[in-house]
Amino acid sequence: MQEAKGRKPKIVLYPRHSNQPPIPGSTEDDFAIYASYQINAGGMFVGLLKVVRKTDSLLLFPFEGAAAIGPFRNKFEAIKAAEELGREIVAGDLRIPEL
């Protein structure tokens, strides 16, 4: 299957089956952090973040009600803030796993 030119590949997560128990991560390597940015209506940069626990494909971020990351003056600040938040989420899940 070919991808359309100029389009980024989408991240596909396979949902957990309801009978599959959660599998907490044990190291930072058990998580995937995807950080990016977008430009809002005011022309400012907002961080985008997706954090996935790879051991059981649990989406840790974004979640319903999560606050926006930013706005920032440039894309580098937005991405940096998203990456930092992603690392904080991973550290928190390693301490107290989301089950």
Q: Contact, 35 vs 64, CB < 8 A? A: no
- The reported pLDDT for the residue numbered 1 is 41
Q: Kindly state the DSSP code that residue 23 receives in the 8-state scheme.
A: -
What is the per-residue pLDDT across 34-64, written as a single tens digit (0 to 9) for each? Answer: 999 999 999 999 999 999 999 999 999 999 9
Q: How many CB atoms lie within 10 A of CB 36?
A: 15
- The reported pLDDT for the residue numbered 5 is 54
- Reported pTM: 0.81
Residue 73 scores a pLDDT above 60 = yes
- The reported pLDDT for the residue numbered 6 is 53
What is the per-residue pLDDT across 5-32, written as a single tens digit (0 to 9) for each? Answer: 555 555 555 555 567 789 999 999 999 9
Q: Contact, 21 vs 49, CB < 8 A? A: no
- The reported pLDDT for the residue numbered 58 is 95
CA 49 to chain CA centroid, Å, is 4
Q: Give the integer Cα–Cα distance in Å for 22 and 51.
A: 16
DSSP H/E element including 34: strand 31-39
Amino acid at the residue 15: P
Token code pair at residue 42: 């005011």
Q: Give the integer Cα–Cα distance in Å for 31 and 40.
A: 28
